[in-house]
Chain A
Amino acid sequence: MKKNRFLGNVWMIFCAAYLILPLGVTLIYSFSSSWVAIVPSGFTLEYYIEKITDAAFFMGVLRGIIAAAIPVIVTNICILLALFAVIVYFPKMEKYMQMICIIPTTINGIILATSVLSTYAGGNTILSNRILMLLCTYCIFCFPLTYQGIRNSLYAVNTKRLLEAASMLGASEFYGFVRIIVPTVLPGLVNTALISFAGLFGDFAIIKIIASSQFETAQTFLYKNRSADTQAFSAGVVILLLFTLLINVAVHKTASKENQKEKK
């Protein structure tokens, strides 16, 4: 038994080392002016200063944030409205809605992106706008997680009962939904929204296929400049990673807050 535990610990340390290695090396590499011997030499911040003051990179990060935030918000609103109608008016529609929201887990990234592209590209309608195409495809990708999150929160607060109570007091159902239900479930939605946001912010495949030349995010910017100075490049990767880390911490914070509330 003791031997097993020891082997388990060794295995865990080994795996952790493997997982941390690429992150760690990239981080150290971005701070050093050269690294050919075992120990890197020359600590420098110049690559970070170069990246941060690079307007194109900065704008790329900003565009990445916008391109990830809009779909998350739109999807949340759409699914909230639809689930409101499901719960209050048409309970039978729920299984169809669930079906629609689960499809994107199988029809994944490139299949959906390429089929959207081949359907609308080259047309003259507003749908052939690449940026709109990108945002809407992102929306589809948020469906499964957002649906699950919103559904669970709405059932947890017993929406139907609350709305009945509100309507007895003279509020219309929709008014009650907007003023009572949405504010109650909002903190719970932030968690799933942040996870979706992190996923979209890290996306490269879909944006490469649909809108790489029209819309440059930080990811596509790095891709274009991949042959440039490798240290500067590592600095860019590290900045993106730190941003993802920040979102991650936020996800954990909101999740643990929710847990505490449930315990109370």
Chain B
Amino acid sequence: MKHIKTNGKKLCFFLPFLCIAVLFLFVPFANMLRNSVTGSNGGFSLEHFADVFSKPIYLSAIGNSLSISMKSTMVGLLVDFILAMAVVNLTQKKKSWYLSLLDLTSTFAGLPLTFSFITILGTSGVFVLISKNLGFSPLANYDLYSLEGMFLVYLYFQIPMGTLLLVPAFAEIKKEWREAATLMNCGSLRFWFRIGIPVMMPSIMGTFGMLFANALTAYTTPYLLINNSIALLPVKIADMFVGDVRQRPGLGSALSIVMLAIILAVLGLTNIVKRHFEKGKKS
């Protein structure tokens, strides 16, 4: 009895932490799972998932979300990789200066970032007005309020984040390898494709997962720019709970689970690739 009493007192230290975790993480999550499989008549049903995978609006939301996330991640990763490669070669002082710039811009996201882009490229944006005056048509007719137009904003937040994640990975590439490869008459491009990138693959995959999840779940940017004119997963999910139209928590929960499944699938896939490339390392 005494044992339980003293241990009970010690367990009290967990109480505040567990309270928040249970009440605002586990219970809502369980509730969401339950909502997604509860039919309109109250019993167990998969009707919400059937809706998600049969109605064109939700399918296009999934498709659009996947497409812009995939595109911005791929292009972002390429830009980041070259950028990180260049940053690593800088002198110490310049490097820390550039890294601070990346640090600063990585916190520049969400609403201020989106509005900055509207100031530049929106319908009455500065660059658009200037181009109209000059008769420079590609910029004068720039449509920020579309999937293609929004791509620039997505790319913007992928650059600092990805580069900051990739810079440490370049430390894994030893100078000696480069020298050895050069001695054996291996060109720069060949070195990177045969040695550099495979060695860095685990970090690249980790970065890929982060960037993809970041783009897929971005809510503020699409909400402010296109809202409901083009279907995207995060906006649709939020609409199901707080939208002006009829609220449908069941359907929203099902969409949330689909989004979660996509994230987990991508993380799982990147993990498999990671493992494959890590095989040779630890032996």
Residues of B within 8 A of A9 (CB): 86
Q: How far, in Å, is B239 (CB) from chain A's closest CB?
A: 10
- A16 close to chain B: CB less than 8 A: yes
Q: How far, in Å, is A31 (CB) from chain B's closest CB?
A: 13
Residues of A within 8 A of B75 (CB): none
CA of A4 to CA of B224, assembled, Å: 40
> Which residue of chain A has the shortest Cβ distance to B241 in the bound complex?
A114
CB-based contact A16/B217 at 8 Å: no
Chain B interface extent, by class: 35 or more
CA of A133 to CA of B100, assembled, Å: 35
CB-based contact A237/B115 at 8 Å: yes
**Total number of residue pairs linking A and B with CB closer than 8 Å:** 225
> Which residue of chain B has the shortest Cβ distance to A103 in the bound complex?
B25
Residues of B68-108 at the interface with A, using a CB-CB cut-off of 8 Å, are 79, 82-83, 85-87, 89-90, 98, 100-105, 107-108
- A22 close to chain B: CB less than 8 A: yes
CA of A118 to CA of B33, assembled, Å: 12
CB-based contact A237/B112 at 8 Å: yes
CB-based contact B133/A36 at 8 Å: yes
Interface of A is mostly: helix
A to B CB contacts below 8 Å, 20 in the list:
A9-B86, A12-B87, A16-B101, A19-B105, A25-B116, A26-B116, A29-B126, A74-B16, A85-B11, A115-B29, A115-B256, A139-B24, A140-B25, A202-B111, A204-B110, A208-B219, A208-B223, A226-B115, A230-B124, A244-B107
Residues of A within 8 A of B124 (CB): 230
CB-based contact A107/B29 at 8 Å: yes
Contact of A111 with B256 at beta-carbon distance under 8 Å, contacts A11-B86, A106-B264, A202-B107 already known: yes
A contact set with B: CB distance below 8 Å: 1, 4-5, 8-9, 11-12, 15-16, 18-23, 25-26, 29, 35-38, 74-75, 77-79, 81-82, 84-85, 89-90, 93, 97, 100, 103-104, 106-120, 127, 133, 136-137, 139-140, 143, 198-199, 202-205, 208-209, 212, 219, 222-223, 226, 230, 233-234, 237, 240-241, 244-245, 248, 252
CB-based contact A11/B238 at 8 Å: no
CB-based contact A209/B238 at 8 Å: yes
Residues of A within 8 A of B105 (CB): 19-20, 23
